[in-house]
Amino acid sequence: MGASKRRILKIWLMIRLTTVILIATLLQVSAASLAQRVTIDQKKTTLAKVFREIHRQTGYDFLYAKGLLDQKKLVDIKAQNEPLELVLEKVLFGQSLSYSIEQKMIVIKEKSIIAKVLDYLDQIDIRGKVVDEQGQPIAGATIKVMGSSLVTSSNEAGIFTLKEVAGDAILEISYVGYTTRALKVAKDMGVVKMEMSIGKLDEVTVNAGYYTVTERERTGSISKVTAATIEKQPVNNPLMALQGRVPGMEITQLTGMPGGGFKVQIRGRNSINTAVGNDPLYIVDGVPYPVNRVSSNTSSAIFSAAGASPLSFINPFDIQHIEILKDADATAIYGSRGANGVVLITTKKGQSGDAKVNVSVNQGYNEVGHRIDLLNTPQYIKMRQDAFKNAAATPTARDYDVNGSWDMNRYTDWQKELIGGSANTTNAMLNISGGNQASNYLLGANYYSEGTVFPGELGLDRAGIHFGLNIGSVDNRFTGSFLANYSHTKTNLLRVDLTNWILLPPNAPSPYDQYGELNWENNTVYLNPFAQLFLTNNAVTDNLIANLNLNYRLIDKLMFKISAGYTGLKRAEQAKTPLISRSTALASTATNRIADFSNNYNHHLIVEPQIAYNRQFSFGKFEALLGGSLQANESEIQTIRGTGFNSDDLMGNIGSAATLTTPQISYLQYRYNSLFGRLNYNVDGKYIVNLTARRDGSSRFGEGKQFANFGAIGGAWIFSDEKIIKDKLSFLSFGKLRASFGITGNDQIADYGYLQSWSSLGTYQGISTLYPQRIANPEYGWETNKKTEFGIQLGIFRDTVNLEVSHYQNISSNQLVGYPLPLSTGNATIQMNLPATVRNSGWEVSAQVKILDRSDWNWLTSINLTVPKNKLVSYPGGLENSPYALNYVIGQPLAIRKIYNVTGVNSQTGLYEIEDKNGNGVLDNDDRYLNKFIGQYYYGGLNNSIQFRGVSLDFLFSFNKQNGLSYMNGSSNPGFFDYVNPINNQLAFVLDNDKVQRPSSVNAAFVQFLNARENGGENIVDASFIRLKNVSLTYDVPNKWLSELKIASAKISLQGQNLYTWTNYLGLDPETQRMQGLPPLRALSLGLNLSF
Amino acid sequence: MVFLQLSCKKFLDIDPPKESLVGSEIFKNDDVATSAMTGVYQNMIANGYASGSTTGITALTGFSADEFISHNSSLTEFYDNQLTPLNGTIANSLYYAPYRHIYAVNSILEGLSNANSVSTLVKAQLQGEALFVRAFIYFYLVNLFGEIPLHTTSDYRITQIAPKSSIANVYSQILKDLKQAELLLSDNYITIERVRPNKGAVLALLARVYLYTGDFVNAEKHASQVIDKASYKMVAVNEVFLKNSQEAIWQLMPNPNNNTSEGLTFILAAAPTFATLRPNFVLNAFEANDSRKINWIGSYGTHYFPFKYKVRSSATVTEYSMVMRLAEQYLIRAEARAAQDNISGAIEDVDVIRGRANLPLLKNSNPNIGKVELSTIIQKERRVELFAEWGHRWLDLKRTGQASAVLAPLKPQWQNTDRFYPIPQTEIDRNPNVTQTEGY
């Protein structure tokens, strides 16, 4: 080919190019002037059909040569009110056809060879930015060139680039939760604004820990609660915000004390041995977070046996979302710690854009929502006098309440005096967020304070800062994030819970005498509840969670990530028992002054390198992940007790103690290394298989037992995408079947358990000695949990109704139990794995119904229901010989009591009558032949969100059908009086009640009462309840009022928690089921939230 | 580099716990290894069979024999010899507690046999003590229960299925341990006090074991070896039970700032709630003017109590709990010599005891006494010398075949099989190879 020919080609090209530019300009003009728009959604359709539809909508005619369309490919076309030109581009893409619009006529022609070549030569590099409705960048949006395999995603700054894209190609930009957009390519795509797709539940992303999935395509059982829900609740602990909202997650608040403990179980109790933990694994921003062991035993009385809740050191409002992983598919990637479920907490991150300031202040109060009906003084005195009459006895010198020592006409409402106060709450927050395209930041500060309902100045103060930084390089190869959350929490509480003494006799003397001094009423008062206010228990906790994430895209589809995190919790406690708190009736010396000084810490370090590979094939999407985890945990609790102080005032100084002892000391190191991986294969977004596996090594086990493998397979079929369903069941907008099976483990056992340990218990000849504490068993390993799940998810009538139903079955085996040994071995039990099995199974249902879905009126109702079943399936080796013989029955749930048959109250003696089943004349363990269940039959929540213009109202009812411990659990028999700690008042319900033991002062009555209460199951009652858990009313102040004040948005909210409880339960609260602990408080709070 | 760590076992090596020591850490130096051994003594005296308290061998066998009257309904089974395999005191104090110590000394012996960092001298001392303690405990187990499981390892996989050993086998293990301990221990006490066993204690126990097994030659020989040592002397009646008394061969040191549990348990300061001496013993067992009756028996109203230990409770510690003492060695040798027809030698030994008690000496009052009569006198001297001490009376009644003859008249429900206590039911339930003792 000569030079002349080349020149001709060049001219040709120039002419062609000019024409293209001209036409393009013309088209722009015509498009602008005509503004024809098309809405179309067709799949695998002929071009002819599509043209007919466009003709129907626009009135434009199509002109093309006969037979031109015959050989053309079928097309998929989806457009929502898009310009005609764009729709045509999409339709004709890759078809070797061109179009032109002349008047109201669309001319379709075969592209010339040259045009086709030009298409190729026309390749350009493009660049753009994806933002949301507020102009904030969207990271991770998918940018795909239609009809090709070219795909990329936007970086943290929303920026995307693609190289060598055909000049006439169409870009499809999608992001979960947003409507997908299609655009013609251009070198500079500019800013692409995405619109939120409201109500698209199937486009929500879900954090699965090491990876994210869409709600639509997830194969596992994962529940999600977002900041929007959390922020509506005036709570001090994120766990409170989850109550009643997550199917399969049973959260029990154990006390109403601020910072107090919780019991959390996901899908039931798996372990026979109560020493093996059943807590889920908590991960905050990728770093494991301590479950317990942060407060010393000194604090157990006030915070419940579970101690202070570590999650109370995290500001709930710093949380972006919480995911709860439940089934094998979701949890197996957490291997040995996935058996009891995983709770993933993700804190808030920054958003790019101009600096945005958000300020919020909430002010409110907490109070005991429900008081119990107790005997008043005349009723109480009569009960006591009846007690002596029935026992044919007279009051002794110690019966101060009725022997004349105490005024028998005096009345004190101890509930009002002790727990009747109201606790002020303040919650203030300031957040600043902003950044450029590549990087952004979030800076937050918060302060929370909560008083108590007790008299005196007690409470919790928490101050925290939150920091989030996202960084990215311009070429989008490198991204990173850093999150840090620090809080400083001070609690000034008591060693004891004053709720203990609401059962004091109503005629007990005034706590203070006429001079305002503590009143011991001539040494007849052994316990003055107001003296307990001197039993201070103060703690300071510092909590730091920091996490660094670095991602590097090696090649297009291969990403290398490394994350490193640290959690450090440090807690210092000081608890005092000064002499002033002790009754003058007790002989007190300096040795009765006790001060406990505790220093505890818990450090957790984690490093997790990962490689992710994602590839889109023509036949499906493939995702692979390989990662490793190195973890080191170190914790220590050390309590030093000083006694023998010379004065109450010196008790803050440990140096003033005459004697020092260490009532509690524990030091633990725990290390962990793992390899994990995931393979996910997704065909057409319809058929999805997800494989996860993990190999774990743990220092909690002995040589040879340190490593174990876990894994799961999950699958989903989105059947609503099948043609037959679309055709025949068109009301079904979404339908998915999913199933999973896998094995996870539980390693929540004591550290060092495999080693023989020697402890110091005393001295000999003045030198400390050692004695074997625990027999060595290097042979025990993990408890394993085989999980199976089936689920169905449906969206009906364009997702007006969304329903998810899951059935799970978890079989927990290889149980770590205390296996009984012959005494001659020198040890009564040894920690061992036994192939005993516990089965947890159940149904979980959650549904959302859009009752109203209009532009200014929205009403969404959500309901969730869990029906759990728990059963001890087998216990090889004989349950009856095991240490658990009196606790469990094969075929029954773990949560039972083996009890006597209490046949009623004997009308003659007035005592409980208990059947002597084996007829041997005494009550013994063989007579405990009945089983009574303590636990939940079903539970759930019903939430309503109603929005009318700027006003939104949310209210949640939680419900529980359950058996629990009644008031009786913390009470003595009617008529009994213990002068040392006279918490002997009774519920008014016992009066003249022939189901309750008659008042009696004799010891035999007390013994029989205890028999009936403890082993007779009389204290187990129906503790079902429905609670108005949360109400939130928010008003968005209209913009027109704000703009002058330079305020971007303003919200005023009124929030309430635990507002009302419907129950027949006899006792303080059906959730805590304790008489000695503060019930969950009713909270009310008014808040203002401003954004600038 | 990080990936290399991931499946590496070394990463999982953690530091040992701080609040307790793991087995392997114990035997890395002399002091810690020693504290493991003294832990056994501390545990022995703290509670259970060796504590001298209400759950000790002294008290419980005293009820079973004819020493004590019970004032506590929970002890009726001992007092009436109506024990059952379900008795909790048997299980916890007389069975489980000694076996816990067996486990401890077996662990110590195993640890020492592997350890390289314990010095040779300390290792020998500790091995000797551990072997002695094992022999001492098995001596009591075999005498209280008869046939018992015999464990010389701490490995629960072996011990949990081990059957009972014959009495003869238990004794041969005891002898084996003691002979080995004899070679390992020296005549000196390792500390200034007599609270850790030395060679003297080994020889004394050997003498006792030979006496019990009828090897009178060896019994005499070993008792002589003890008696001949300059460190042991008979002391005045009121000084026998003082701490570091010259008569003591082995004492256990009470918990810090405490005197003995025997003192606290037996000395009456109020109406009895536990044990008092049988008046018949107090009034009839002693000869006239026996200074032991005067000094070692106290009274509270009409009740008598053992008053060997004088201190009921005081922060000033003057008394230690006596486990083995010289007087017993004289009585062992007397019995062994009499059995070998060495009457004069026997009289010599008995007179040491009688002389100290301010009684007429046999060599003066009855130099031509016959062997049978002499034996009776020796047994009587044992009874009044060693009463309320470590079950001597109960064990003597059994080994001399006198149990039924003496106890049947006192105890209407007495059966000959009551000589041995029952094996606890939990042991039978958990080890299919252990059978119950005859009579239960």
Q: What is the pLDDT of residues A317-355, one digit of tens each?
A: 999 999 999 999 999 999 888 889 999 999 998 877 788
Confidence of residue A119 (pLDDT cuts 50, 70, 90): low
Task: Say if CB A342 and CB A209 are below 8 A apart.
Answer: yes
Residues A1041-1060 have a mean pLDDT of 89
Task: Read off the pLDDT band of B430 (50, 70, 90).
Answer: confident
Determine whether the interchain pair A628/B40 forms a contact, defined as Cβ–Cβ distance below 8 Å: no
Chain A residues whose beta carbon lies within 8 Å of the beta carbon of residue B146: none
List CB contacts (< 8 A) between B44 and chain A.
none
CB-based contact (8 Å) between A750 and chain B? no
Q: What is the pLDDT of residue B410?
A: 93
Q: Which residues contact A702 (CB under 8 A, 6 or more apart)?
A: A754, A755, A777, A778, A779, A780
Of A762, A777, A881, the CB nearest to B255: A762
Task: Name the minimum distance, in Å, from the CA of B349 to any CA of chain A.
Answer: 34
Tell me, yes or no, if B160 comes closer than 8 A to chain A by beta carbon. yes
A669 contacts on B by Cβ (under 8 Å):
14-15, 17
pLDDT at A894 over 70: yes
| Residue A775 with chain B: CB contacts under 8 Å | 103, 154, 156
Question: Given this model, what pLDDT does residue B287 score?
Answer: 94
Q: How many residue pairs bridge chain A and chain B with CB atoms within 8 Å of each other?
A: 193
Q: Which long-range contacts (CB under 8 A, 24 or more apart) does A197-200 make?
A: A199/A799, A199/A850, A199/A853, A200/A799
Nearest to A765 among B21, B43, B191 (CB): B191
- Give CA–CA dist A1011/A923, Å, rounded: 9
Walk across the sheet containing A181-184 and list its strands.
Answer: A151-153, A142-145, A170-174, A181-184
Band (pLDDT 50/70/90 cuts) for residue B285 is: very high
pLDDT top residue among A105 and A416? A416
A667 phi, psi to nearest 5 deg: -135, 130
Task: Compare A1021 and A135 and report the one with higher pLDDT.
Answer: A1021
So what's the pLDDT on residue B6? Answer: 55
* pLDDT at position B169: 97
Local structure of residue A95 (DSSP, 8 states): T
Q: Considering only CA atoms, which of A502, A508, A507, A304 is closest in space to residue A418? A: A502
* Closest residue by Cα to residue A162 from A180, A178, A181, A146: A146
User: Rounded mean pLDDT of A451-474?
Assistant: 91
Model confidence pLDDT, tens digit, residues A760-795: 878 898 888 888 888 877 788 888 899 999 999 999
pLDDT at A41: 82
- Taking an 8 Å cut-off on Cβ atoms, the answer to whether A775 and B103 are in contact is yes
Min mean pLDDT across A7-16, A18-27, A641-650, B397-406 is at A18-27
Question: pLDDT tens across A867-891, in order?
Answer: 999 999 999 878 887 778 888 999 9
Question: Which among B7, B23, B104 is the nearest to A673, CB-wise?
Answer: B7
Interval B135-157: pLDDT, tens: 999 999 999 999 999 999 998 88
Whole-prediction pTM:
0.78
Contact B14 A830 (CB under 8 A): no
Nearest to B102 among A609, A695, A826 (CB): A826
Which range among A309-313, A923-927, A1066-1070 shows the weakest confidence by mean pLDDT?
A923-927
Q: CA of B142 to nearest chain A CA: how many angstroms apart?
A: 13
Lowest mean pLDDT among A256-260, A587-591, B247-251: A587-591
Cβ-contact B51, B263 below 8 angstroms: no
Neighbours of A107 (CB within 10 A): 13
* B175 neighbors B212 (Cβ within 8 angstroms): no
Asked if residue A291 has pLDDT above 70, the reply is yes
Distance CA(A690)–CA(A210), nearest Å, equals: 13
Q: Does position A67 have pLDDT exceeding 50, yes or no?
A: yes
Give the pLDDT of residue A114.
Answer: 64
Closest by Cβ to A630, choosing from B11, B18, B21: B11
Residue A294 has a pLDDT of 81
What is the structure's pLDDT at A578?
95
- In this predicted structure, what is the pLDDT of residue B151? 96
Q: What is the pLDDT of residue B159?
A: 92
In Å, the largest CA–CA distance within chain B is 94
Backbone angles phi, psi at A66, to 5 degrees: -60, 135
DSSP state at residue A824: G
pLDDT confidence bin for A197, thresholds 50/70/90: low
CA closest to B41 among chain A residues = A764
Highest mean pLDDT among A239-253, A821-835, A910-924, B128-142: B128-142
Query: Token pair for residue B132?
Result: 């002695």
CB contact under 8 A, A609 and B430: no
| For residues A172-194, average pLDDT | 79
Is residue A75's pLDDT more than 60?
A: yes
Best mutation target among B15, B42, B114, B194 (most A Cβ atoms within 10 Å) is B42
pLDDT tens-place string over residues A369-418: 989 999 999 999 999 999 999 989 999 999 999 999 999 999 999 999 99
Is the per-residue pLDDT at A20 higher than 80? no
State chain A's mean pLDDT as an integer. Answer: 87
Q: What does the pLDDT read at residue A120? A: 58
B170: part of which helix (H) or strand (E)?
helix B167-184
Work out the average pLDDT over A983-988. 93
- Touching check for B179 and chain A: CB below 8 Å? no
A658 has a chain B CB within 8 A of its CB: no
- Min mean pLDDT across A20-34, A105-119, A738-752 is at A20-34
Residue type, A205: T
Query: Residue A523 CB: number of other CB atoms within 10 A?
Result: 12
Chain B residues with beta carbon closer than 8 angstroms to that of A661: none
Judge whether residue B195 has pLDDT over 90: yes
**Distance of residue A1031 Cα from the nearest chain B Cα, in angstroms:** 48
Higher pLDDT, A756 or B224: B224
- Which string of DSSP letters, residue by residue, matches B245-314? -TTEEEEEPPSTT---HHHHHHS-SSS-SSEEE-HHHHHHSSPTT-HHHHHHEEEETTEEEE-SS--SS-
> Residue A537 pLDDT > 90, yes or no?
yes
Using CA coordinates, name the residue in chain A closest to B1.
Answer: A609
- For chain B, say whether A821 makes contact (Cβ under 8 Å): yes
Q: Which residues of A touch B133 (CB under 8 A)?
A: none
Q: Select, from the ranges A71-85, A553-567, A628-642, B380-394, the one with the highest average predicted confidence (pLDDT).
A: B380-394
Q: Is the pLDDT of residue A1034 over 90?
A: yes
Q: Assess A925–B contact: CB distance below 8 Å, yes or no.
A: no
> What digits encode the pLDDT tens for the residues B22-49?
777 788 889 889 999 999 999 999 889 9
Q: What is the ipTM of this complex?
A: 0.90
Across B116-261, where does the E strand assignment appear?
Answer: 148-149, 164-165, 248-252
pLDDT at A589 over 90: no
Pairing of strands A783-796, A801-813: antiparallel
Contacts of A611 in chain B (CB under 8 A): none
- For A685, list phi and psi in degrees, rounded to 5: 65, 20
CA distance A801 to A407: 65
% pLDDT > 90, chain A: 51
Contact A695 B17 (CB under 8 A): no
d(CA B118, CA B109): 12
Q: Which of A25, A20, A19, A34 minimizes the C-alpha distance to A103?
A: A34
Nearest CA of chain B to the CA of A628: how many Å?
Answer: 6
Provide the chain B residues 99-138 that lie in CB contact (below 8 A) with chain A: 99-104, 106-107
pLDDT computed for residue A12 by the predictor = 61
- Reported as a single tens digit per residue, the pLDDT across A923-965 is 888 889 999 999 999 999 999 999 998 899 999 999 999 999 9
Q: Examine the pLDDT at A202 and tell me if it is beyond 60.
A: no
Q: Is B440 on the interface with A (CB under 8 A)?
A: no
What SS3 string covers A730-779? CCEEEEEEEEEEEEEEECCCCCCCCCCEEECCCEECCEECCEEEECCCCC
CB neighbour class for A233 (10 Å; exposed up to 12, middle 13-18, buried from 19)? buried
Residue A28: pLDDT band (50, 70, 90) is: very low
CA atoms of A283 and A260, how far apart (whole Å): 20
pLDDT at B61 over 80: yes
A767 vs B22, B35, B107: nearest CB: B35
**Structural tokens at position B436:** 């119950």
pLDDT digit string, tens, across residues A748-769: 887 787 888 888 878 898 888 8
Give residues with Cβ within 8 angstroms of B352, minimum separation 6: B234, B330
pLDDT, residue A1031, reads 96
The answer to whether the CB atoms of B32 and A770 lie below 8 A apart is yes
Nearest to B21 among A757, A766, A823 (CB): A757
Q: Measured between alpha carbons, how far is A205 from A170 in angstroms, rounded to an integer? A: 25
Instruction: Give the long-range contacts of residues B257-260, CB within 8 A, separation 24 or more.
Output: B257/B315, B257/B317, B258/B313, B258/B317, B259/B309, B259/B311, B259/B312, B259/B313, B259/B314, B259/B317, B259/B318, B259/B319, B260/B52, B260/B309, B260/B311, B260/B319, B260/B320, B260/B321
- The alpha-carbon gap from A906 to the nearest alpha carbon of chain B, in Å, equals 30
Distance from CA of B129 to the nearest CA of A (A): 15
Does residue A33 surpass a pLDDT of 60? no
Average pLDDT over every residue of B205-227:
97
Nearest in space to B388 (alpha carbons), one of B41, B66, B55, B43: B66
The reply to whether A663 touches chain B by the CB within 8 Å rule is: no
